[in-house]
Amino acid sequence: MKVIHCSWSGEGVWVPLGKWDAPWDEENQTSHPKPGQLLLYASGPSEPELLIPCGICIFNSRFGILKGNHFATITEGTGLLAELHRLLLWQGAQDCIIEEIGPA
């Protein structure tokens, strides 16, 4: 997978998720996430994705404003989000790994 700079949403990055076959319920949706509030977008005019806001961000696409499910919040290391945003803006897409973790 790749993490990519958000050209439409402001200070944020996103991970394209490809085809999405999981059941989808709209829950806890927002278009104006705060830095570190992870949004999942799985259906609509744009492709499925994970949005990671790094600063001021409005969840947007070429189709207009989108709403994503706020499902988790980064609470530690949030200062690194601005660095991630700059890295992707100036050096382009980077490899990333998203893994499922079990219960604590």
**Residue 77: band (very low, low, confident or very high) from pLDDT cuts 50, 70, 90:** very high
pLDDT of residue 98: 83
Backbone φ and ψ for 81, nearest 5 degrees, come out as -60, -40
For 18-53, write each residue's pLDDT tens digit: 877 666 778 889 999 999 999 999 877 788 899 999
**For 23-32, b where at least 16 C-beta lie within 10 A, e where not — what string?**
eeeeeeebee
Q: Which domains does the chain have, with CATH numbers?
A: 2-95 (2.40.100.20)
Check if the beta carbon of residue 75 is closer than 8 Å to that of residue 56: no
